[in-house]
Structure 1
Amino acid sequence: MNIRLKFLGGARSVTGSKYLLEIGSRKILIDCGLFQGHKDLRLRNWDALPVDANTIDTIILTHAHIDHSGYLPKIVKEGFHGIIHCTTATAGLLEIMLMDAAKLQEEEAGFAKKKGYSRHENPLPLFDTSDAEAALALIKGHHYKHTIEVAEGVSATFFNAGHILGSAIVVLEIQGKSQTKKIVFSGDLGRYDRPILQNPEVISEADILLVESTYGDRVNENEGMEDRFAELINQALERDGCLLIPAFAVGRTQLLLHYFKTFMEARKIPEVPIYVDSPMAISTTALYQQYPEYHKLSKKELSAPSIFDYPHIKYYRSQEASVSLNSLEKNAIIISASGMCTGGRILHHMYHRLPKRNDTLLFVGYQAEGTRGRRILNGEPTIRIFGIDVPVRCHIEHLDGLSAHADKNELLKWLRNFQQPPKMTFITHGEETCALSFSDTIKNELGWSNVYIPEYLESFELFAGV
């Protein structure tokens, strides 16, 4: 039995994670994400999958972020009909996120047709709500550390990755004729000693390892991060404007609310209204009560009123309520998705607030190459939104310390748990410069030699005649 690995995404980029494992005649796909960022990456979403979807036996997800799960409705549309395995909390998140992603696809196609800024006469969504519903029907959730058989002779175990609610390190064990091989997929690794989530769990051995490298070339702000965050908030409010924060609905928004409550109670920042304008973020916040085993918040912190029910936090679901925020001139904080400004309600807020000199746009998460967020951080004077070039006149700020991704030192801390180097280590889910830098770091600091940075669609033979 031969075992091969093909990289259908997440190779020299931070999006579109898809890793096809071929074990003899069986095919297992680990992660099933959408490409985001540069146009040439996004166009891959519209291409036919490089493998017949109908031939894939099962899919295993590390977590619910769209760059790891958002292609599920499309792959089901293309013919996949097997089981989709993930943690129970990821399953809960996917019920929210896939439907939201489908509605966004439908709304953006409809808006493009109405405004006439698509080059297609009748722009269509990549997938629709019926495709999302079909994908959700195939999902099966599992608890951490509960080993399941995903194919004949192949078992999977999920371990806490500490990245978002339900995020997992996936450990596959493949039973051959005379030996067992272990393949570890890090997924996205979280940070250490964070307020809400547990640390990434220790994995000590692997024959083959895939490790992410989103922040593989840098160390995030840690020392004094909270003081710096409070300072940025105060500076924004002192400008007599509003503070707009693009934030991922899953994980980042909840962490922000924790800090806002903490800062206000400590009188580090003024008591101003905080508007959470993201229906998905609101629904996601409720899941923390439903899945208490996936975080370290206490029952007291989650009981009414919970840390997410602070009197100054206003949750806005309706479109009408969202539009009403355009009239706010000062002394308000608005949190909206998506975190990289690729779609969703944040675009409407940016359309209205980027030209305002007193307003502040604060980035608190990773901005992939080619996204609006990265282009703004790079200093572009105008940003195209809804087919219109919007001038960027507001204040732009960036805070790395709130990222849910492990930085270079934290990735190394996790890797040092391995008792011996894997036979092969693949650097994934990182822009090329980050992956190259992290590969050098692993070789120099850990002394590992067989480290690879795969290309898109590149295949590797992991084992022959197992």
Structure 2
Amino acid sequence: MDISLQFLGAAHCVTGSKYLLTLDHNATQRHQVMVDCGLFQGLKELRMRNREPLPLPAADVELVILTHAHIDHSGYLPKLVRDGFRGRILCTEATADLLSIMLLDSAKLQEEEAAFANKKGYSKHHPAEPLYTQADVEHMLPLVESVAYDAPVDLLDGLLTLTFRDAGHIIGSAIVELEVQGAQQHKKLVFSGDLGRYDNPVLFDPTPITTADVLLVESTYGDRDARIEDPEAEMVQVVTEAMARGGVLLIAAFAVGRTQTLLYYLKKLIADGRLPQVPVYVDSPMGIRVSDLYPRHPAAHRLGHGNVFDFPGVRFVTEARESKGLNSKSGPAIIVSSSGMLTGGRIIHHLFNRLSRPQDTLLLVGYQAEGTRGRRLQNGETEIKMFGEMVPVRCQVKQLQGFSAHADRSELLRWLGQFEAPPKRAFIVHGEPEPAEALAKALREVHNWPNVIVPDYLERHVLFEGI
């Protein structure tokens, strides 16, 4: 049996994660397996790839295996089904619950954007159409099958064995172990997915992996450390300063993971008396739905059972009218909203109304991809175009990198350092060029890994022949 791997995304970028594994079992039997099936986000030239045809018919893909539910890892699934995929979609139990929340939201946003583009006439395509619809998501969801952590599953009549290990990135996130049984040899492929932080108070540490013949590892922070020695102290400082100005602290938080970590810290610090009890508004419908999943999956996080994110002063905003009413809210108060990179969601109208207010503070608490509004504000732009207007940036803009859900350079090397021997091949993925190359250089020169590759988009590698 011959095994090859093609990089359909997350190559020299942090988005569009898709890897095509081909198993040529004999002259007449070929199996195509996709690990992750994500949308490209951020820069326009990346987003345009979502409209390009895959290098194979969707119907030829037999299996899709997901590391987790973030849109850059799962968001292409409805399009794949729309184009003819009818196979199995395998993921962890919490990821299965997250998919319906996230993909229906993704489809809804696309439908709204297409309708708005048609109304305003600014799309190059006439009429503008979403990549997929909510109906497409509904057709996709019955194909999803959930698998528990650490429970091996035989696939393709025993050719492949899949095991999910906890990656500690978001609830349900997984490292994918694939064991391939050839006629003569047995090979192990490991896909790290997105690795989480060590000592996260909400999620467990990434599971140690000690052996692999082939490894794909993410490199989002492959060139820098982003750990805060005392995240509670950093949070206290930012919140205290924002409240002292008498304004509103607007926290841009990813609905999945970051919102829940922030609520954990706010709850703890207010209860400990280190922060004043001010109104906290969680204005993220998806973030609220995701928070509601935690009691359903107590084994997937550290917080146990019950309503783990409730505390005095917190209000979960569900109605659009109440969300818009927050625009006139004066401080001191905290609004937690999404999206985390300021690319959409309810936070956009908060941003439009608060960027120009010197007493308010915008807090970025995660990675800001190139081409996003969040990256531009992070880089210090003094005005931002929104709703056809140039809005001056007069508010305070702060960032806490230590609250990222991605392992930083030291943590990546800590996880990689647990391998008993270097993989025969290691591919550095899910990183912009500089971080990816920096991690590859460290593995080659410091850790003496012999075969470390930073692949290009659509690059194909023959991993094994005649096993």
TM-score, normalised to structure 2's length? 0.96
2:295 and 2:308 in contact (8 A); partners too: no
Task: In structure 2, give the amino acid aligned to 1:65.
Answer: H
Residues 163-209 of structure 1, C-alpha deviations (whole Å, 9 max, x = no match): 11010000001110111110000000011111111111111100000
Moved more, 238-247 or 362-371: 238-247
Gaps of 5+ in 1: none
Task: In structure 1, give the amino acid aligned to 2:326.
Answer: L
Q: How does 1:202-281 map to 2 (within 5 A)?
A: 202-281=208-287
Sort the Cα spacing of 1:328 and 1:117 in 2 relative to 1 into closer, same or farther, 3 A.
farther
Residues 95-134 of structure 1, C-alpha deviations (whole Å, 9 max, x = no match): 1111111111112222333344434453221211011111
Secondary structure of 1:446's partner? coil
Moved more, 396-405 or 44-53: 44-53
Correspondence for 1:39: 44
Task: In structure 2, give the amino acid aligned to 1:206.
Answer: A
Sort the Cα spacing of 1:382 and 1:185 in 2 relative to 1 into closer, same or farther, 3 A.
same
Correspondence for 2:67: 62
Moved more, 454-463 or 390-399: 390-399
2:81 and 2:140 in contact (8 A); partners too: yes
Rounded Cα–Cα distance in structure 2 between residues aligned with 1:19 and 1:108: 28
Secondary structure of 1:270's partner? coil
- Root mean square deviation of aligned Cα: 1.3
Correspondence for 2:87: 82
Secondary structure of 2:150's partner? coil
Which of 126, 130, 139 is residue 135 of structure 2 equivalent to? 130
Rounded Cα–Cα distance in structure 1 between residues aligned with 2:125 and 2:2: 44
Which of 94, 97, 103 is residue 99 of structure 2 equivalent to? 94
Secondary structure of 1:85's partner? strand
Residues 382-428 of structure 1, C-alpha deviations (whole Å, 9 max, x = no match): 22333433322211100011111111111111111111010000000
Rounded Cα–Cα distance in structure 2 between residues aligned with 1:454 and 1:386: 38
2:227 and 2:408 in contact (8 A); partners too: no
Moved more, 105-114 or 28-37: 105-114
Secondary structure of 1:101's partner? helix
Rounded Cα–Cα distance in structure 1 between residues aligned with 2:120 and 2:248: 29
Residue 163 of structure 2 is aligned to residue 157 of structure 1: yes
Rounded Cα–Cα distance in structure 2 between residues aligned with 1:60 and 1:97: 17
Correspondence for 2:27: none
Residue 458 of structure 2 is aligned to residue 463 of structure 1: no
Rounded Cα–Cα distance in structure 2 between residues aligned with 1:212 and 1:167: 13
2:295 and 2:304 in contact (8 A); partners too: no
Task: In structure 2, give the amino acid aligned to 1:85.
Answer: L
Rounded Cα–Cα distance in structure 2 between residues aligned with 1:357 and 1:108: 31
Correspondence for 1:394: 395
Rounded Cα–Cα distance in structure 2 between residues aligned with 1:170 and 1:119: 39
Rounded Cα–Cα distance in structure 2 between residues aligned with 1:165 and 1:457: 30
Correspondence for 1:17: 17
Q: How does 1:295-310 map to 2 (within 5 A)?
A: 295-299=301-305, 302=306, 306-310=307-311
2:167 and 2:207 in contact (8 A); partners too: yes
Rounded Cα–Cα distance in structure 1 between residues aligned with 2:321 and 2:402: 33
Sort the Cα spacing of 1:68 and 1:183 in 2 relative to 1 into closer, same or farther, 3 A.
same
Rounded Cα–Cα distance in structure 1 between residues aligned with 2:4 and 2:97: 32
Rounded Cα–Cα distance in structure 2 between residues aligned with 1:366 and 1:358: 25
2:40 and 2:49 in contact (8 A); partners too: yes
Sort the Cα spacing of 1:344 and 1:375 in 2 relative to 1 into closer, same or farther, 3 A.
same
Rounded Cα–Cα distance in structure 1 between residues aligned with 2:240 and 2:37: 40
Rounded Cα–Cα distance in structure 2 between residues aligned with 1:354 and 1:107: 25
Secondary structure of 2:293's partner? helix
Deviation at 1:162, TM superposition (A): 0.6
Secondary structure of 1:357's partner? coil
Secondary structure of 1:174's partner? strand
Which of 185, 195, 199 is residue 201 of structure 2 equivalent to? 195
Task: In structure 2, give the amino acid aligned to 1:109.
Answer: A
Secondary structure of 1:31's partner? strand
Rounded Cα–Cα distance in structure 2 between residues aligned with 1:181 and 1:387: 55
Rounded Cα–Cα distance in structure 1 between residues aligned with 2:233 and 2:151: 40
Rounded Cα–Cα distance in structure 1 between residues aligned with 2:364 and 2:233: 16
Rounded Cα–Cα distance in structure 2 between residues aligned with 1:123 and 1:20: 29
Rounded Cα–Cα distance in structure 2 between residues aligned with 1:86 and 1:324: 39
2:226 and 2:402 in contact (8 A); partners too: yes
Correspondence for 1:293: 299
Residues 303-340 of structure 1, C-alpha deviations (whole Å, 9 max, x = no match): xxx33111211111121111111111221111111111
Q: How does 1:363-374 map to 2 (within 5 A)?
A: 363-374=364-375
Rounded Cα–Cα distance in structure 1 between residues aligned with 2:337 and 2:381: 22
Moved more, 11-20 or 266-275: 266-275
Sort the Cα spacing of 1:377 and 1:196 in 2 relative to 1 into closer, same or farther, 3 A.
same
Residue 53 of structure 2 is aligned to residue 52 of structure 1: no
Rounded Cα–Cα distance in structure 2 between residues aligned with 1:5 and 1:340: 31
Rounded Cα–Cα distance in structure 2 between residues aligned with 1:87 and 1:221: 28
Rounded Cα–Cα distance in structure 2 between residues aligned with 1:135 and 1:218: 38
Correspondence for 2:144: 139
Sort the Cα spacing of 1:237 and 1:114 in 2 relative to 1 into closer, same or farther, 3 A.
farther
Task: In structure 1, give the amino acid aligned to 2:2.
Answer: N
Rounded Cα–Cα distance in structure 2 between residues aligned with 1:264 and 1:88: 32
Moved more, 139-148 or 307-316: 307-316
Correspondence for 2:351: 350
TM-score, normalised to structure 1's length? 0.97
2:424 and 2:450 in contact (8 A); partners too: no
Residues 51-84 of structure 1, C-alpha deviations (whole Å, 9 max, x = no match): 2111111100000111101111111111111110
Task: In structure 2, give the amino acid aligned to 1:96.
Answer: I
Gaps of 5+ in 2: 25-29
1:436 and 1:453 in contact (8 A); partners too: yes
